[in-house]
Structure 1
Amino acid sequence: MVALDPQQDDEYIAVHGIPMTEEAFGQLIQAESPYRYELIGGIAYNMTGSSPKHSALSSRIDLLLSEQLGRRRPGHTHRDQYVAIPDRLSVVPDVVLTWNGGDWDDDAYAKPFKIRSPLIVVEVLSPSTEAYDRNEKFARYRRCPTLGVYILVSQMARYVEVYRKSSGWRQEVFIGMQIIHLEQLDLELSLAEIYDGILKESP
């Protein structure tokens, strides 16, 4: 078992991180905990803390997707859950949508629970982790054979990037009042709805 230094609280860990080996990090995330950590450049960070705008955008996208899914099963959206990456360390997306019943039934997999079949992954960009989200984290997600769409959402403007497996992960940019169509489950994300009341800027 890996124990974090009790003198280093979670706010400190979120901002400064703690140096850690991959082996030690693997042990850390095996423990049941209300916190979610990621190893970035050999430093473990607590990812459960976020800015109000970051949290609001994540919650809004989660709500928009889950409302469209309705009672269609086995589809579900998740926040603050580890995603298992084949042959790599697990990561924590801001929002993930799955279409596998096992990713809802926490008795289906070994503890601690990890999502095995991500279909759509959303990351809200932050200055401190943007490079990681665009590069290393994106590369890890692409190792998941079920992943079809990767979405990056700006906190600063109505600006969303979409990467689809079907197009070879080519970048698509959506701005202003545009609507993103996700063909996998015939879902839509309207930038007007995503950012409504969150950004003060005019479209």
Structure 2
Amino acid sequence: MAPAHRIHYTYAEYLALEASSNVKHEYLDGQIYAMAGGTPEHAALAAAVIGLLFLELRRGRCRAYDAALRVGVPSTGLATYPDVTVVCGPIERDAQDEQAVTNPTLIVEVLSRSTEEYDRGDKFEHYKSLASLRQYVLVSHRERSVEVWTRDVDGDFTSAIARDGDVAHLASIGARLDVRELYEAAAEPGA
């Protein structure tokens, strides 16, 4: 039996698809992957992160973006849409893609059953190659916890977990994220 033929897409073909699609796609190594739709709980957590960060960032030099912002990783070719991206200072655009930024300071991914392994593993490896990235934040879908990966002066990442009642320190953007406040802001009214 002959192996299935794998189609290789150019980045230009990917951009054309994104411009005409109502579904977001991720691009890597000539492949285009439809991004899974999130649950209401996932969307509420991402919105709560942005809402809480907005209050702390509104007068500073950092700006929070939602999942509509595409982030390009030039060294690996990944193009994706993090749940929350924070850029400090002027944005830098991908040379091939004016709609993608390449200099996030902080990226937040809200975990889900279907994406947790990827977000913790391969995707994080791609993000690590972004010289501007100072912190990578994973918001749990199973429990009230926020995991913050921080790059040190040697370029290595170390993690700290903030649980219900703790505060996650986002020194890279001069902000903090109260875990209890985050999950309460994301809770369904009346729940």
The CA distance in 2 between the partners of 1:35 and 1:20, in whole Å, is 22
Identity across the alignment (%): 29
How many angstroms does 1:39 deviate by?
4.7
1:78 aligned to 2:89?
no
RMSD (CA atoms): 2.7
Partner of 1:151: 137
What aligned pairs does 1:118-129 form with structure 2 within 5 A after superposition?
118-129=104-115
Give 1:166's match in structure 2, choosing from 148, 152, 176.
Answer: 152
State the shift of 1:198 in Å.
3.6
Query: Conserved in 2, the CA contact under 8 Å of 1:102 and 1:109?
Result: no
Whether the aligned pair in 1 keeps the contact of 2:168 and 2:178 (CA below 8 Å) is: yes
TM-score, scaled relative to structure 2: 0.80
Higher strand share: 2
2:125 matched to which residue of 1?
139
Please tell me whether the aligned partners of residues 106 and 173 of structure 2 are also in contact (alpha carbons under 8 angstroms): no
Residue of structure 2 aligned with 1:176, choices 140, 160, 164:
164
Check 1:53–1:194 CA distance in 2 against 1; reply closer, same or farther (3 A cut): same
Q: Give the secondary structure class of the aligned counterpart of 1:152.
A: strand
Distance 1:101 1:39, change over 3 A: closer
Cα deviation 1:30-65 (Å, max 9, x = unaligned): 122443212589874332621000000001101111
Query: How far apart are the structure 2 equivalents of 1:20 and 1:67?
Result: 46
How far, CA to CA, are the matches of 2:98 and 2:117 in structure 1? Answer: 28
Unpaired runs of at least 5, structure 1: 1-18
Q: Is the 8 A contact 2:63 2:87 kept in 1?
A: yes
CA contact (8 A) 1:162 1:171 kept: yes
The match for 1:115 is 101
User: In structure 1, what is the equivalent of residue 14 of structure 2?
Assistant: 29
Whether contact under 8 Å (1:181, 1:187) holds in the other structure is: yes
**Aligned partners of 1:40 and 1:115: how far apart in 2?**
16
Number of aligned positions between the proteins: 177
Residue 6 of structure 1 corresponds to none
Report the more deviating stretch, 44-53 or 63-72: 44-53
Residue 92 of structure 1: aligned partner:
81
- Which among 48, 51, 66 is matched to residue 60 of structure 1? 48
Greater shift after overlay, 147-156 or 179-188?
A: 179-188
Displacement after TM superposition at 1:86 (Å): 2.2
Question: 1:102 and 2:95 equivalent?
Answer: no
